[in-house]
Structure 1
Amino acid sequence: MKNIMIISDHSPFDGMHIRDALDMTLIFAAIDQNVSWLFQGSAVMALKPKQSPQQLGIKDFFKSIKTLEIYDVENIYVCETALKQFKLDPDQLSIDVTVISQEQQRQLLDQQDQVVTL
């Protein structure tokens, strides 16, 4: 089993970056890899509940993020700096996350066999 880290750092409304990261995370989980997902920068906005992407003509895939638990994806990390930047509280996000500092992110990345940034 490999340790694979998916990193999202784009806004959820900037193309399909978050959707692609979600799909990749679920694929790796389905083939029994130890997959983690790190949200940095404006990507943290994908975890804000009660969004209405349909108003922008985007399919609502945000609900699918909640399915990570079903696939045993338990390692969901959020950049502490990004949360502060966007004034988000981890308790108010749509899923349970682990908030990590810049230093913790570097340590976590060192433990990975593969890192994919989307």
Structure 2
Amino acid sequence: MKKIPFRLTPYQVQWLLVVGFITVGYALYLRYFAIEFSTTALACDAGLQTLICKARTVATALFKNSVFGITALVIATLHVIRPSIVLLTGGLIAAGLGIVLYNIVLSGLAIGLLILGFARPAPATA
């Protein structure tokens, strides 16, 4: 049984670019305007109940427990075993959030595994 190598179509590459930019953009927004911005942090800690404060609370709880990094690592491992666009998209989202939101080591490892998902043997020469 011949194994078909995992290759992305141009539409899938465009999809991954859009998803990656949106994910990293939202993570940067959350980090610099909700978590590290002192005015917002003080207001949220004082009990303000807005959507950005709730997102700050959820993101803080997730990155303190390394959920972004662990999720990215699990999805990337599954992607190495059985590559698919769904796993690649999920791994990209989790790793993008993890890199920006303080889970750098595990998310960086996951990005390396996602890249290894494209490794395949060279075609045989005749």
| TM value normalised by structure 1 | 0.32
Question: Which of the two has higher C-alpha Rg?
Answer: 2
Structure number with greater CO (CA < 8 Å, separation at least 6) is: 1
| TM value normalised by structure 2 | 0.30
